[in-house]
C-alpha cells in the first residue's frame, strides 16, 4: 500500500501524450499510471516541451515498434532537442482496426487516414484489401478518425477500437496489422531518471569527430571487456554532414553500477558528443 503522501503524488501526476484521446499513446499512459491526469498534445515534440516547461510532470512517447523498428522522430528529438531523461518503459500490444462512418460501404472507400507508423504496420493489408485506395498521413491515429469524419469522399481510418467508441464510428475490420506480434515500446520522460532496481537498462547516444577505422569497435570492446550486454545498437544521421552518424546503444545495467559507470566515462572521453538518456527498470517483452 502507498502511504497517503505518495498516493496523492501518484494521483496528481500530469502525463503528456500524443493526443487526442483514443491514441495508443493514451493507452500507454493509462497502462503506466491509470490514475494520472492526462494531458493530450499535438505532437511528440509538444509532449517533450510540455515536460520541459513543467506543464506536465512526465511525458510518454513511442520509441520502437516490433514491425516498423525505431520511431525516428522520437530518437531525433532525444538526440538533438531534448534534455529529458528516460525513467521507465512500457510495452503495449498494437491492435489496429479499420474505422469508417456508420453506413459506409467498404467498396466505396477511396482514402484511408492514419499516423505514418500505423500505415506502415498495416501496409500489406491495405495493399491486399484496398489496392486502389489512397493513404494519407494524419498527426495521430485518433486525428485520423477526425480526418476521416471530415472527408467529403468515402473514407476510413486505421486506429484503435477505443477511438471507434469515442467517436461513434463503425469498426469495418479488426486486427489488420501485418504481423500479429505487433507491439510498441514507449518511454516515460521526466527531468530525472530512475534509481537502480537491480534489473535496469541504460540508453546513450554518442558521435565521433571524424571517421577512423576501429573507432566503433573500440567503444564496443569497452562494454565487452566488462561483460556488459548491449540490448540494441543503431545509428541516426548527425544532421551535420552526409555520412556522419550518431550511434545509439541500449545496454543492460544502471549508470550507477560500477562497471557501467566506468565504461560510460571511457566512452564519453572517446566521443566528440555523448548523451546519457537515462537508466530505468528493464521490462521483459
Per-residue pLDDT, averaged over 171-193, amounts to: 93
Domain 200-281 listed as CATH 1.10.760.10: no
Per-residue pLDDT, averaged over 273-279, amounts to: 97
Residue 91 grid coordinates: 510495452
Distance of alpha carbon 38 from alpha carbon 30, whole angstroms: 8
Distance of alpha carbon 238 from alpha carbon 166, whole angstroms: 40
Give phi and psi for 87, each to the nearest 5.
-115, -10
The CATH code that applies to domain 97-174 is 3.40.190.10
Per-residue pLDDT, averaged over 7-32, amounts to: 83
User: What CATH homologous superfamily does 4-93+182-190 map to?
Assistant: Periplasmic binding protein-like II (3.40.190.10)
Residue 67 grid coordinates: 514491425
Angle subtended by helix axes 44-52 and 72-80, to nearest 10 = 30
Distances (CA, A) of 135 to 76, 98, 113, 148: 25, 12, 6, 11
Beta strand spans in the chain (E): 14-18, 37-41, 58-65, 69-70, 85-93, 97-100, 111-114, 134-137, 155-159, 170-174, 183-190, 200-207, 230-237, 245-252, 273-281
* pLDDT at residue 8, rounded to an integer: 47
Q: Is 186 a catalytic residue?
A: yes
> What's the pTM value of the predicted model, to 2 decimals?
0.84
- Of 216, 229, 215, 217, nearest to 259 by C-alpha is 229
Q: Given strand 273-281, what is the order of strands in its sheet?
A: 230-237, 245-252, 200-207, 273-281
- Do 137 and 119 contact (CB within 8 A), yes or no? yes
Cell 505514418 belongs to: 116
Distances (CA, A) of 87 to 79, 102, 183, 201, 203: 16, 42, 20, 10, 11
* pLDDT at residue 21, rounded to an integer: 86
Catalytic residue among 17, 130, 167, 186: 186
* pLDDT at residue 285, rounded to an integer: 64
Give phi and psi for 17, each to the nearest 5.
-150, 165
Distance of alpha carbon 124 from alpha carbon 83, whole angstroms: 38
Given a cut of 50, whether residue 6 has pLDDT beyond it is no
Per-residue pLDDT band at 11 (split at 50, 70, 90)? low
- Do 188 and 211 contact (CB within 8 A), yes or no? no
Percent of the chain at pLDDT > 90 equals: 82
Q: 244-271, pLDDT tens digit by residue?
A: 899 999 999 999 999 999 999 999 999 9
Same fold? 4-93+182-190, 97-174: yes
Q: Is 106 a catalytic residue?
A: no
Given a cut of 50, whether residue 1 has pLDDT beyond it is no
* Residue-averaged pLDDT of the chain: 91
Per-residue pLDDT, averaged over 163-185, amounts to: 92
How many residues can be counted in the chain? 285
Catalytic residue among 74, 184, 202, 263: 184
DSSP string for residues in 152-170: SS-EEEEE-HHHHHHHT-E
Q: 88-116, pLDDT tens digit by residue?
A: 999 999 899 999 999 999 999 999 999 99
* pLDDT at residue 97, rounded to an integer: 95
β-bridge mates for residue 173, sequence order: 98
Task: Provide the residue ranges of all domains of the chain, joining segments of one domain with +.
Answer: 4-93+182-190, 97-174, 200-281
Distance of alpha carbon 150 from alpha carbon 73, whole angstroms: 27
Percent of the chain at pLDDT > 70 equals: 96
Q: 198-246, pLDDT tens digit by residue?
A: 999 999 999 998 888 888 999 999 999 999 999 999 999 988 888 889 9
Amino acid at each position: 500500500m502507498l502511504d497517503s503522501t505518495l498516493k496523492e503524488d501518484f494521483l496528481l501526476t500530469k502525463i503528456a501524450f500524443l493526443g487526442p484521446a483514443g491514441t495508443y499513446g493514451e493507452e500507454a499512459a493509462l497502462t503506466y499510471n491509470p490514475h494520472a491526469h492526462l494531458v493530450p498534445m499535438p505532437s511528440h515534440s509538444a509532449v517533450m516541451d510540455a515536460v520541459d516547461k513543467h506543464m506536465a510532470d512526465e511525458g510518454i512517447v513511442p520509441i520502437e515498434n516490433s514491425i516498423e523498428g525505431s520511431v525516428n522522430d522520437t530518437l531525433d528529438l532525444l538526440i538533438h532537442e531534448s534534455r529529458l531523461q528516460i525513467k521507465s518503459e512500457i510495452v503495449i500490444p498494437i491492435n489496429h482496426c479499420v474505422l469508417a462512418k456508420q453506413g459506409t460501404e467498404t467498396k466505396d472507400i477511396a482514402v484511408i487516414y492514419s499516423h505514418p507508423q500505423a500505415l506502415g504496420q498495416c501496409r500489406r493489408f491495405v495493399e491486399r484489401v484496398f489496392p486502389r485506395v489512397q493513404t494519407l498521413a494524419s498527426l495521430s491515429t485518433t486525428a485520423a478518425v477526425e480526418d476521416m469524419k471530415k472527408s467529403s469522399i468515402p473514407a476510413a481510418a486505421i486506429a484503435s477500437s477505443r477511438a471507434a467508441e469515442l467517436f461513434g464510428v463503425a469498426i469495418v475490420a479488426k486486427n489488420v496489422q501485418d504481423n500479429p506480434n505487433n507491439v510498441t515500446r514507449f518511454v516515460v520522460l521526466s527531468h530525472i531518471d530512475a534509481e537502480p532496481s537491480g534489473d535496469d537498462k541504460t540508453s546513450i547516444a554518442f558521435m565521433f569527430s571524424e571517421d577512423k577505422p576501429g573507432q566503433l569497435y573500440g567503444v564496443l570492446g569497452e562494454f565487452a571487456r566488462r561483460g556488459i550486454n548491449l540490448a540494441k545498437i543503431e545509428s541516426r544521421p548527425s544532421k551535420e554532414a552526409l555520412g556522419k552518424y550518431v550511434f545509439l546503444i541500449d545496454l543492460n545495467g544502471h549508470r550507477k553500477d560500477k562497471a557501467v559507470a566506468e565504461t560510460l566515462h571511457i566512452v564519453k572521453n572517446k566521443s566528440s558528443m555523448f548523451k546519457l538518456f537515462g537508466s530505468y527498470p528493464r521490462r521483459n517483452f
